[in-house]
């Protein structure tokens, strides 16, 4: 067994690799088959080996091109949590039986293959997940007072986890949860097949008794069982996982002009790439945004929808986009059409997403029509407020500026030559990040976050 105290260097927070993968970490709370938070889950975070996390990001990228996505329920599981499950199975009481195992005696969990005495999750290469998509019912907000509904009940009746119909809910200890169970409906069979196929293409293998359970079999898959606790992510962890940084600083919170500099990792530090170049930020400067990790902001404004501020913080970079059908970039690329919109209506399920308004049933009253803005001839989605919280700000991009003195409504804009260089340079395999804030705040966090 590896050390029970320290997180190994090859174990990464999934949100530092791909924050677009949704997380509903069930064992960090009480909405699971035990009815309590498991030992070792001190934060609702998915950790995986770096190779497993990057493979999962590739699955997500492929699914997103088809209009689908992933939501994870469990990833690395400390061995103390496995022991906690074992204790539960031998102690009296069944607080969540009606939902998760209505037809099974919990003393039979091991015999039936639903609980393992040594779990592959504890090696950091096994993940429990589901499939999201346009026809999924919105996720419900669970509370201990929620009525338990049999996990094999029809899709409309059982707990709404925000995913597509997969035949049963997550952690459903029942034969209907077996991957190839013939009694589920055609839609659920199709969804299971779509998920399994996407996972298998990137080196994951499924488990016959749980449709949600996959293990990465790549060469870098860890062998040792681990027991370090899951703790909240730090910004330092996010930066340590990155091989490329774009640092944007301004003179103060209200300044509309800034300077950008590219960096590449050089061992434990970073080195400059090319010369610094000017950028324009929001017409009202910057405000602390919602990035990879919570920032102890101290004094300073907070970004809100429609406030004309660019977000300050640390952010992943998402899809590149533009008017042309292709682009010289390693990033995923979206060719904009007249029906491409970015939804800025906080009441929409598509809030802060790029969508094809001609293909998706609209539930929004406000959006940006991307082909109407000349500056979007080339751009990159900045993953501020991802996944989205209503009112925290939306549709934040790198894009071409109107001119060297023209501020934006919240984006970061630059000369066309500079954004073309960014597109060519950025490599998603390097987990690139945007670090953007006023210079005084950058200097405040520089040493603690190991910034250049």
Report d(CA 412, CA 427) in Å as an integer: 19
Task: Decide if 353 is catalytic.
Answer: no
DSSP E strands: which ranges in 267-403? 269-280, 286-288, 310-322, 333-335, 340-343, 354-356, 367-369, 378-382, 397-400
What is the per-residue DSSP string for 196-225?
Answer: HHHHHHTTEEEETTEEEEEEE-STT---S-
Q: Which string of DSSP letters, residue by residue, matches 51-100?
A: HHHHHHHHHHHHHHHTT-EEEEEE----HHHHHHHHHHHHSS--TTHHHH
Choose the catalytic residue: 22, 210, 353, 368: 210
How is 389-433 classified by DSSP, letter by letter? Answer: -TTS----EEEE-S-TT--BSS-EEE-HHHHHHHHHH--GGG--E
Where do we find the tokens 């925290």? 392
Which is nearest to 262 in space by CA: 288, 242, 284? 242
Catalytic residues: 210
């Amino acid at each position: 067994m590896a050390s029970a105290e320290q997180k190994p260097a090859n174990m990464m927070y999934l949100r530092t690799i791909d924050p677009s993968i949704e997380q509903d970490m069930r064992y960090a709370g009480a909405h699971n088959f035990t009815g309590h938070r498991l030992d070792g889950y001190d934060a609702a975070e998915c950790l995986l080996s770096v190779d497993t996390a990057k493979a999962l990001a590739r699955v997500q990228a492929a699914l997103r091109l088809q209009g689908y996505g992933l939501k994870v329920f469990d990833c690395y599981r400390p061995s103390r949590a496995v022991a906690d499950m074992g204790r539960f199975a031998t102690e009296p009481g069944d607080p969540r039986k009606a939902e998760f195992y209505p037809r099974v005696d919990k003393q039979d969990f091991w015999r039936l293959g639903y609980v393992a005495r040594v779990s592959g999750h504890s090696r950091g290469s096994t993940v429990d997940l589901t499939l999201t998509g346009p026809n999924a019912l919105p996720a419900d907000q669970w509370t201990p007072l929620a009525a338990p509904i049999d996990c094999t009940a029809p899709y409309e009746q059982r707990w709404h986890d925000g995913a597509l119909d997969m035949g049963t809910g997550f952690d459903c200890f029942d034969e209907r949860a077996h991957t190839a169970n013939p009694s589920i409906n055609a839609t659920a069979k199709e969804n299971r097949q779509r998920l399994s196929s996407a996972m298998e293409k990137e080196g994951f293998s499924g488990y016959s008794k749980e449709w949600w359970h996959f293990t990465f079999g790549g060469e870098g898959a860890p062998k040792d069982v681990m027991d370090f606790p899951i703790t909240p992510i730090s910004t330092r962890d996010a930066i340590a996982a990155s091989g490329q940084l774009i640092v944007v600083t301004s003179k103060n919170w209200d300044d509309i002009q800034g300077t950008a500099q590219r960096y590449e990792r050089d061992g434990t530090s970073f080195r400059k790439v090319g010369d610094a170049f000017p950028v324009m930020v929001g017409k009202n400067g910057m405000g602390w945004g919602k990035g990879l990790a919570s920032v102890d902001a101290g004094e300073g404004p907070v970004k809100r929808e429609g406030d004309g501020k660019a977000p300050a913080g640390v952010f992943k970079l998402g899809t590149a986009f533009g008017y042309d059908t292709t682009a010289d970039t390693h990033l995923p690329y979206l060719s904009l059409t007249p029906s491409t919109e970015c939804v800025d209506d906080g009441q929409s399920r598509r809030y802060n997403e790029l969508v094809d308004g001609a293909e998706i049933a609209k539930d929004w009253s406000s959006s940006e029509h991307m082909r109407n803005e000349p500056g979007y001839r080339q751009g990159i989605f900045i993953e501020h407020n991802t996944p989205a919280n209503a009112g925290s700000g939306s549709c934040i991009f790198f894009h071409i500026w109107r001119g060297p003195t023209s501020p934006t409504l919240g984006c970061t804009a630059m000369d066309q030559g500079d954004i073309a260089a960014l597109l060519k340079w950025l490599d998603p395999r390097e987990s690139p990040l945007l670090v953007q804030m006023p210079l005084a705040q950058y200097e405040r966090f520089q040493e603690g976050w190991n910034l250049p």
